[in-house]
Chain A
Amino acid sequence: MITVCPTSSLPPGEAIRVPAEEPIAVFNVDGEFFAIDDTCTHQDASLADGWLEGCTIECPLHASCFDLRTGKPSGPPAKVAVRTHQVVVADGMIHVQVSAAAEGAA
């Protein structure tokens, strides 16, 4: 479990990049938190820098859109889903339970 930040530091519509071996992006969608792998599955871009609209994040480099709930891309150029991770909020802190390496990417 990775501790990310207090919920108050991540207001609705915002994203934060959590540095790790595989960096993770955490999003606040109208009070609900989602976590996915931060690096786009297409090329090298940080999804936390992308454009959040509803439950979709648009990659800042080539605009593939990923569903934060499933990690699936909606269209090209990305072909592979990003991993999704479970978010746990406890005592006002956001924590992420990192999924197993290959899982969730399918």
Chain B
Amino acid sequence: MTGTIAVVGASLAGLSAARALRERGHAGRIVVIGDEVHAPYDRPPLSKEFLAGTATIDDLALVSPDDEALDLEWRLGSRAVGLERQSRSVRLADGGEVRADGVVLATGARARRLPGSDGLPGVHVLRTLDDAVALRADLAVSGRLVVIGAGFIGAEVASTARQLGLDVTVVETQPVPLAGPLGGELGAVCAELHADHGTRLLTGTGVAGLVGTDRVEAVELTDGTRLPAEVVVVGIGALPNTEWLAGSGVALGNGVLTDEGCATNVPGVVAVGDCAAAWSVPAGRNVRVEHWTHALEQPATAAATLLGGAPPVRCPVPYFWSDQYGARIQFAGSRREGDVPRLVEGDFADRSFLVVYERDGAPVAVLGMNQPRLFTRWRRQLRSAVPAA
């Protein structure tokens, strides 16, 4: 393909797609459209080092000097509002249009909000750099934080806020945090980090609403309890940014639906990263993955699909990490309900252990806390054990 390729979404998946397109020899224009005004930046530190104040905005930059050679046309601060299927042109909010021969959809996801919480000062979500800057400023002048949701982002924000000296309570609807990704037993083990570091964790409790008119004052729980709060962070998951594609003819479900090779139902249009739900052979359904490594690696497959040519050999073992209270949690593999966790190293009480999840006696996933070296070996072993799908 020698024509123009439009990449919609200027973050990790979009930038990785642009790099992969050049690597595969695309010599035509690449126009990268992003609604944020910022050049691509790294999100994981937003709840960790950047929120803590130990990383700067410059540290977050994803674009390196080498990327100059990619010769990308940036359209930052420019939101795509529609895709014209026949001509493959991307309509922009400012009335402009980018006509393209190929389109990469990389619009990611946004934080889910608590209904009725919009615009109340002191209430935050955390997805963007602007979110992080605003939250950091609020944490700096507040004493009491309530985090709604004990998922990875909620737990990381709680951890960082404790480090900053705030009084922190985390509220979780589920009886056990992180049971989805880690299973009940290990979810409970990881959640013990909160108590270790003086964070209150309330589980099995819903949020009835927020109290406060000019500014948030408390979080009211379904059992009637009022938790006083000067700052509230809502960490209840993310939704794919796909609304702008309504009416475009691109098939949507929980994200942009694609085949294994990232192709949508519209020729010349591929989707990658957090916005995409690719067909997974092992799972037998479309799966939307919201992990950094996936957004970094998957675009190489999309570039092969768009330009033609052999798809890259991809590592079929999903991976993510989380840093909480100084503990590094790493997970690789695909865990299902019913897989049996087995402790192979360390001790839960020491917050240093490695657990292997087994299905029919064979390892399918691995979880490490503060065991990077052993974890790396197991992750490798899983890669060689799992046949490339």
Contact = CB atoms under 8 A, between A and B. Distances in A.
A48 B372 CA distance: 10
A51 B380 contact: yes
B65 A79 contact: yes
User: 7 tightest A-B contacts by CB?
Assistant: A79-B64, A49-B373, A49-B372, A60-B372, A60-B376, A51-B376, A51-B380
Contacts of A58: 376
B296 interface: yes
B279 interface: no
B325 interface: no
A46 B372 contact: yes
Interface residues of A, number: 16
A77 B45 contact: no
Given A51-B376, A61-B372, A77-B42, 14 more contacts: A43-B45, A44-B49, A45-B372, A46-B372, A48-B373, A60-B330, A60-B375, A60-B376, A61-B328, A61-B330, A62-B292, A76-B19, A76-B64, A76-B296
Contacts of A48: 373
A2 interface: no
Contacts of B377: 51
Q: How large is the interface on B (under 10, 10 to 19, 20 to 34, 35 or more residues)?
A: 20 to 34
Contacts of A77: 42, 62, 296
Main secondary structure of the interface of A (DSSP, over half): loop
B117 interface: no
A104 interface: no
A63 interface: yes
B45 to A, nearest CB: 7
Interface of B: 16, 19, 42, 45, 49, 62, 64-66, 292-293, 296, 321, 328, 330, 372-373, 375-377, 380
Given A50-B376, A60-B372, A62-B293, A43 B49 contact: yes
Contacts of A44: 49
Contacts of A49: 372-373, 376
Contacts of A50: 376
Interface in A14-47: 43-46
A78 B45 CA distance: 15
B252 to A, nearest CB: 29
A61 B375 CA distance: 10
Given A49-B373, A77-B62, A77-B296, A61 B321 contact: yes
Contacts of A60: 330, 372-373, 375-376
Interface string A91-105: 000000000000000
B22 to A, nearest CB: 13
30 contacts: A43-B45, A43-B49, A44-B49, A45-B372, A46-B372, A48-B373, A49-B372, A49-B373, A49-B376, A51-B376, A51-B377, A60-B330, A60-B372, A60-B373, A60-B375, A61-B321, A61-B328, A61-B330, A61-B372, A62-B293, A62-B296, A76-B16, A76-B19, A76-B62, A76-B64, A76-B296, A77-B296, A79-B64, A79-B65, A79-B66
A44 B372 CA distance: 12
Contacts of A79: 64-66
Contacts of A45: 372
Nearest to B368: A60
A51 B45 CA distance: 23
